Amino acid sequence: MTRQEGPPIRNFSIIAHIDHGKSTLSDRILELTGAVEERSMRAQYLDSMELERERGITIKAQNVRVSWRRHTLHLIDTPGHVDFGYEVSRSLAACEGVVLLVDAAQGIEAQTLANCYLALESDLTIVPVLNKIDLPAAEPDLYASEIERVLGIDSSEVLAISAKTGEGVEALLDAIIERIPPPGGDPHAPLQALIFDSHFDQYRGVVSSVRVMNGRLCAGDRLRFMHAGGLHLSEEVGLRLPAVTPTDALGPGEVGYLIAGIKDVAEARSGETVTSASEPADVPLAGYDDPKPMVFCGLYPVDGDEYPDLRDALAKLRLNDASVTFEPETSGALGFGFRCGFLGLLHMEIVRERLEREFGLSLIATAPSVAYRVRTDDDEELQVDNPSDLPPAGQIAEIAEPMLTVSVLTPSAYTGAVMDLCQSRRGSMTSMDYLSPERVELRYELPLAEVVTDFFDQLKSRTQGYASLDYDHAGYRAERLVRVDILLNSEPVDAFSAICHRDGAYPYGKAITAKLAELIPRQLFDVPIQAAIGGRIIARETVKAKRKDVLSKCYGGDITRKRKLLERQKEGKKRMKAIGRVEVPNEAFVSALRLDQ
């Protein structure tokens, strides 16, 4: 069954590593196809979010429709980070082929490779392209043979382009038409349209990117969202050319947008199948998943008065990003805040940055944690993502932690450094393959908790930035895990509790007590800072009592000054958080929670 009407269609994504030139290529395609005139071209048109432009990565998928040699091409942008693997898979589900874009001076990177495997598993056609051939350091022959070895694609099929100069881009567009198959689909079958991205627009509500598989998606139809179960009226369907252009209907194979009066992106998540309310399809499209948050942290306003602002900001943010979870949490040390869940570490950083930047909040984030599975002696199963919620050691039969299969691609010179790092993070190697004599892929099983601390930074610094990383979730594994509590003057400080492997407990305890001893000002009494597992103290520091705080001279000219000094000192006390009798400045928490320093 093939689509009959209109020009033939090709749907494709570009898979590329950060900085390998995806945005530049997208810009060039828009220009060449006349979708965007050169003079109105804003560099990197598709990366519209401010944060995306700054970090040079794509967080939310976008799509654009262009014409080339009497064909309609839909370029579907994919998120460019490992945290958003599910979103990538949904974007790929909207395509019949991908352009694999590789920097001709660097070769394929781990995550690109992983996405390529994902595309191969989905039977997508791969059009391999080496970019930046204008660079003096480019080695297209070397990396073409690497692609052949790794992906089994004949090196003669690898195109060479420079997205920057435009060289080879026309040939690439031709190859897309030639090699990628047209979409199938039956216009007369019941509607099945895949949502592969949704974002919240404050004027229009949720705007979803859709790919019609079967049937026709028409403006004015009543629609059923098969997973979320909602019934909505199709208010507007349209195309992104890339300017938003309403249309009457989208047929099989077509990609565009849908606005259906939805206020919450959770009602129209990536992977959702939209069908007609009156003539529904029997089954939704395959591949829907509800991505679970994997990394958690507490977010607290530095100024306790901003708690309602933080609540509102999180609610607004979630309209646009259904994968963030949050619920109220109270910390003895930090006051009122929220326990938030994220897809990964980058996702966490992005959300935090957006909260601070777009909503003007100043936040304290607790150390990131993963979700542990705990079986108690009563055979009860718990999920614990906040160390404070862990039952006492005596009641725990087993704790299991989430595991990852991690793939690292590195120049072979750094193999030893990468192996050292993985081993120090409790990793076990599962395989090691040479992509070429110069490059090796190492595969490890690693606990997620070890990766969310500063694994990525460490990997980059130990390989001078050359290694790349991809990971996949790989279930849970029971481990010898303990909770380390930090006691300030014998009072536990919940913000610093951490679950870690027994072997890592002592170094953690020692590091954090030493850091706090530096940061906590001297009080009127000695303050012991202890790290403990259960009742056992594993590290201890003492902040000695303050002995002197007095203005030596107080004569005529000093009296006003002294009074003001004491007023300031009183004000300063108000900005302290009291942990038992100990007064701790907010800044001490902020600094101590920056574990990487």
Partner 1 sequence: MTESACASPAFGVYCHIPFCTHRCDYCAFATWTDRSHLIDDYMASCRRQARELAAGMPPVTSVFFGGGTPNLVQPSLLGDVLAELPLAEGAEITVECNPDLVTREQMQAYGDLGVNRISLGVQSAVPHVLDALGRRHDPPMVAAAVDAVRQAGIGQLNLDLIYGSQAESLPDWKRTLVEAIDLGPDHVSAYGLTPEPGTPLGDDPSRHPDEDEMADKYLLADELLARAGYEIYEISNWARPGSQCRHNLLYWRQGAYVGIGCAAHSHRDGRRYWSVRTPERFIAAISAGTSPMAGSEELGPDERRTEALQLALRTSVGVPVGAVPGDVAHLLEPAAEGRLKLTARGRLLANEVAVRLSLP
Site residues for partner 1 per CB under 8 A = 524, 544, 546-557, 559-560, 562-563, 565-566, 569-570, 573, 581
Do residues 404 and 449 lie in contact, with contact meaning Cβ atoms separated by under 8 Å?
no
Minimum distance of partner 1 from residue 555's CB (angstroms)? 5
Between 478 and 554, name the residue whose CB sits nearer to partner 1. 554
Minimum distance of partner 1 from residue 530's CB (angstroms)? 22
Between 40 and 560, name the residue whose CB sits nearer to partner 1. 560
Each as own residue / partner, the long-range contacts of residues 312-318 (CB below 8 Å, 24 or more positions apart, any chain) are 312/359, 313/355, 313/358, 313/359, 313/361, 314/338, 314/340, 314/355, 316/359, 317/351, 317/354, 317/355, 317/359, 318/264, 318/265, 318/266
Between 39 and 553, name the residue whose CB sits nearer to partner 1. 553
Phi and psi torsions of 540, nearest 5°: -150, 140
Between 279 and 558, name the residue whose CB sits nearer to partner 1. 558
Between 39 and 547, name the residue whose CB sits nearer to partner 1. 547
Between 201 and 558, name the residue whose CB sits nearer to partner 1. 558
Between 43 and 550, name the residue whose CB sits nearer to partner 1. 550
User: Please, which residues have CB within 8 angstroms of residue 339's CB and are 6 or more apart in sequence?
Assistant: 296, 297, 298, 326, 327, 328, 329, 385, 386
Minimum distance of partner 1 from residue 15's CB (angstroms)? 55
Minimum distance of partner 1 from residue 561's CB (angstroms)? 10
Minimum distance of partner 1 from residue 578's CB (angstroms)? 11
Q: Give per-residue burial for 511-534: e unless 16+ CB within 10 Å, then b.
A: ebbebbbebbeebeeebebbbbbe
Do residues 541 and 517 lie in contact, with contact meaning Cβ atoms separated by under 8 Å?
yes
Based on its alpha-carbon atoms, the radius of gyration of the chain, rounded to whole angstroms, reads 28
Cα dist from 444 to 405, 431, 455, 469, 475, whole Å: 6, 7, 13, 11, 14
Minimum distance of partner 1 from residue 374's CB (angstroms)? 40
Minimum distance of partner 1 from residue 516's CB (angstroms)? 20
Between 179 and 522, name the residue whose CB sits nearer to partner 1. 522
Minimum distance of partner 1 from residue 562's CB (angstroms)? 7
Minimum distance of partner 1 from residue 590's CB (angstroms)? 24
Between 231 and 554, name the residue whose CB sits nearer to partner 1. 554
Sign of dihedral through CA atoms 576, 578, 582, 586?
Answer: negative
Cα dist from 249 to 37, 62, 255, 523, 579, whole Å: 27, 19, 11, 71, 62
